[in-house]
Structure 1
Amino acid sequence: MKKDEVPYGSDVSAGSYECADCGYEYSNQGKKSLPPCPDFDAISHPKRAWKILTGVGDAVQDPYPNGR
Structure 2
Amino acid sequence: MQKDHVPYGSDISAGSYACVDCGREYSGPSQKSMPPCPDFNNSPHPLKGWKVLSGQGDAVEDPYPNNANK
Q: TM-score range by the shorter chain?
A: 0.7 to 0.9
Percent of aligned positions that are identical: 65
The residue type equivalent to 1:30 in the other structure is S
| CA apart distance, 1:29 | 1.6
Q: Which stretch has the larger CA shift, 39-48 or 1-10?
A: 39-48
Distance 1:6 1:52 in 2: 7
Number of equivalenced pairs: 68
Query: What runs of 5+ residues in structure 1 fail to find an aligned partner?
Result: none
Deviates more, 1:54-63 or 1:23-32: 23-32
RMSD: 1.9
Equivalent in the alignment of 2:55: 55
Give CA-to-partner distance per residue, 1:19-55, whole Å, 9 cap, x none. 0000010112233321000000396100000000000
Alignment match, 1:24 = 24
The 5 A counterparts of 1:1-68 are 1-41=1-41, 44-67=44-67
Gaps of 5+ in 2: none
- What residue identity is the alignment partner of 1:15? G
Q: TM-score, normalised by structure 2?
A: 0.84
Bigger drift between 36-45 and 15-24 goes to 36-45
